[in-house]
Structure 1
Amino acid sequence: MTWERFGYLCRKAAVTCGEREVVSDCLARIEQEAVCGLYGAEMATNSWPRRILDKIGALANREAAVAALTLYGRLKLTRPADELMKFKGITSYLLAIALVYFVVVAIYQLKVAPTFVNAFTNLEVQVPALLVYYRDYWGWLVALVAAVLMAALLVGHRLQQMFQFQAGIEQSPVFKYLLFSNTRVSYLRLIELLQAPLHMYGGPAPGDTAIARHLLAIKTTPMDLATEIEALIAGELRQLLECGQAQMKALTVIVAGLLAASVFIFLFSAYAPLFMLGDAV
């Protein structure tokens, strides 16, 4: 309920802030009221709602700050819980599959493979090449699977944080190097839209972007600015979800392919010696 609390603070501050009261003090006063808890828990310091409120409170122009609060108070913003559950489900699935794989590989490598090698040695039969390969290089194969899986889990976790509106994500290495380009672009557009009312009333401008030009043009018309910002945010959230799901599907396919190839090598190296031992006996 982070955005619900944010909206309540904006709506109440916009109409109750005294003429001589500092906006930041007004927001702090309202947030200390017990009734504020009805709209959700306290906002995390690293969340975008908290950061936006801090920026509004820091505006030098009091009238501009109240105008920004009024516009934010009219927006219907919510955290998309369904999207969070989807990404949690995918990452949990990948983690469960990988854990089973690592356990099976460890048992085979530590218990089964040495038994086969000793049996071939005792029978003076040449050890199968695939068994030798698997025995000598299994660590590299497991490391490759683990690296891809770790990348998928990091991406999934970062996508969850995006839909929780945590601030500063765009500075992380995962965002810069592991997320697809369209996912990064969509998220940056979403953050620009969330800060649009702040930018329009004295906050630091994002530059000459298509979104900024569009909203400034709307501001000069009778169109309702809050409605348009809300519609743009909803559309960008859908776009970000589609991009995130596409990336997670791609990573899932890669992980599944590596696991399938590894399991094939594992099974072949496990059962081929059985037949060869039967022939030797």
Structure 2
Amino acid sequence: MTWDRFGYICRKASSEHTGADTVAARLGKVSDEDACSLYGHRLVANTWPAQLLTQLANMRDPERAERALAIYQRLNLGRPLDTPIKFKRALAYLSYVTLVFYAVAAIYQLKVTPAFSSVFDNLGVTPPTYLALYQAYWGVFVLAISVLILLALLSALQMRRLFQFEVNAQNRLLCCLLVIPACRRAYARTVDALQYPTLDEPAQPGEQASLIQQHLRQVEDSSMDLAVEIQTLAEVQMQAFLQACEKQLKGLTTLIAVVVIVAVMMFLSSAYSPIFSLGEAI
């Protein structure tokens, strides 16, 4: 709900324009009001909603600052930029799978395997292949699955940081390693569109600027409505970001599900094979 609070601050600051107070003064005054708490939690310093307000307050050109504030107060960013419920469910699913896997592995290793091993030792019978294989390599097997689950959880957590709109989150090493380029590219384009009004000197077409910034520069030079284009671009790029994240999460959850099923099959095979071996020995 941080974007709802950002929107309220911009709307209120824009409505109080009298020509005497600067944009920075009005933003600071509105941000300290108790009414802001009705629109969500206080903005975190290293997130883009707070960063945009800071950039807006620090703009050198007063007229451009007023125009930027007028654009932001027209944007509706609360719903399009909120963390989707599907992502929260996927993250909860990964957490539950991790807990269940370790619980099953611990019970099997601490209770089931020692009981069968003791019976076979007392009878002087060689343990079946599945049980012997599991006893010999269970540490490596659990470690491999643990690494896979850990990578999946880290990937989901990095996506969560993007959904929280932390500044430069897409450029951090873990994010670059664990999040697919399509997610990071769409996220960066969303941020480029949102921060464009706060740029004191937007880059000219052809200069070192992103495709989004070059396009919005052309929009600003034309008769098109800049606020409408920023709103549309933010929604389109955010939708692309969500789709890319869902694609990666589906792949991760499917892979983990397959691995867990294989693990369960190995548990069952190594558990039932001793029963049949004991029956033959008796």
Normalising to structure 1: TM-score of the pair? 0.91
Counterparts of 1:220 and 1:214, CA distance in 2: 10
Unaligned ranges ≥5, structure 2: none
Q: Which residue of 2 aligns with 1:181?
A: 181
Q: Which residue of 1 aligns with 2:269?
A: 268
1:20: how far off? 5.3
Over 3 Å counting, the alpha-carbon distance change for 1:117 and 1:39 in structure 2 is: closer
Aligned partner letter, 1:28: G
Counterparts of 2:80 and 2:266, CA distance in 1: 42
Counterparts of 1:203 and 1:16, CA distance in 2: 27
1:45: how far off? 1.5
Counterparts of 2:16 and 2:53, CA distance in 1: 16
Counterparts of 2:39 and 2:253, CA distance in 1: 37
1:91: how far off? 1.7
8 Å CA contact 2:203–2:209 kept in 1: the answer is no
1:19: how far off? 4.2
Q: Which residue of 1 aligns with 2:225?
A: 224
**Could you report, residue by residue, the CA deviation over 1:34-87 in whole angstroms, capped at 9, with x for unpaired residues?**
333333332122221101111111122222222211111121111448753211
Over 3 Å counting, the alpha-carbon distance change for 1:42 and 1:242 in structure 2 is: same
Counterparts of 2:126 and 2:4, CA distance in 1: 70
Counterparts of 1:193 and 1:82, CA distance in 2: 17
**How many residue pairs are counted as aligned between the two chains?**
280
Q: Which residue of 2 aligns with 1:128?
A: 128
Matching of residue 73 in structure 1 with residue 99 in structure 2: no
Q: Which residue of 1 aligns with 2:104?
A: 104
Which shifted more, 176-185 or 210-219?
210-219
Counterparts of 1:33 and 1:11, CA distance in 2: 13
1:238-257 aligned at under 5 Å gives the runs 238-257=239-258
Which shifted more, 80-89 or 185-194?
80-89
Identity %: 36
Aligned partner letter, 2:260: L
Counterparts of 1:79 and 1:145, CA distance in 2: 37
Matching of residue 118 in structure 1 with residue 118 in structure 2: yes
Over 3 Å counting, the alpha-carbon distance change for 1:35 and 1:108 in structure 2 is: closer
Counterparts of 2:240 and 2:130, CA distance in 1: 46
1:1-281 aligned at under 5 Å gives the runs 1-17=1-17, 19=19, 21-80=21-80, 83-199=83-199, 201-202=200-201, 207-281=208-282
| SS of structure 2 residue aligned to 1:195 | helix
Aligned partner letter, 1:177: L
Over 3 Å counting, the alpha-carbon distance change for 1:56 and 1:229 in structure 2 is: same
Aligned partner letter, 2:192: E
Counterparts of 1:192 and 1:98, CA distance in 2: 36
Over 3 Å counting, the alpha-carbon distance change for 1:197 and 1:81 in structure 2 is: closer
Counterparts of 1:149 and 1:169, CA distance in 2: 22
Counterparts of 2:257 and 2:214, CA distance in 1: 44
8 Å CA contact 1:23–1:57 kept in 2: the answer is yes
1:269: how far off? 0.8
Unaligned ranges ≥5, structure 1: none
Counterparts of 1:214 and 1:82, CA distance in 2: 25
1:126: how far off? 1.3
Over 3 Å counting, the alpha-carbon distance change for 1:36 and 1:264 in structure 2 is: closer
Normalising to structure 2: TM-score of the pair? 0.90
Counterparts of 2:35 and 2:84, CA distance in 1: 28
Aligned partner letter, 1:107: I
